[in-house]
Amino acid sequence: MTQPVRRAAIVSPLRTAVGKFGGALSNLSAGDLGATTIKSMLERTGILAELLRKAHHRDARYGLETMCIGGGQGFAAIFERA
């Protein structure tokens, strides 16, 4: 028997740094700036810890997390329990 899909909305108001053209952030790629924002959001919300706890509870080997980060961008990750 499959369980119904539950939808969740997580609000963690973060954004990438804003700089000026040729300024201090010019040597960073958009991917690096986005990765910093995603890392901070994962740390603040505890999503990763909850995902791993549920995987352990269900004796699952893998966990999947997807997030919409706005502006048509998204993030998806698959985690494997050791």
Q: Please report the DSSP string for 22-73 in residue order.
A: TSTTTTS-HHHHHHHHHHHHHHHH-HHHHHHHHHHHTT-SEEEEEEEEETTE
pLDDT in tens, 9-67: 656 667 667 778 888 888 888 778 777 777 787 788 777 777 777 877 888 888 877 77
Q: Tell me, what's the pLDDT at 11?
A: 60
Quote the pLDDT of residue 61: 84
From residue 34, give the alpha-carbon distance in Å to each of 1, 7, 29, 74: 38, 24, 9, 10
What pLDDT, on the 0 to 100 scale, is given for residue 6? 65
**Alpha-carbon span 81 to 60, nearest angstrom:** 8
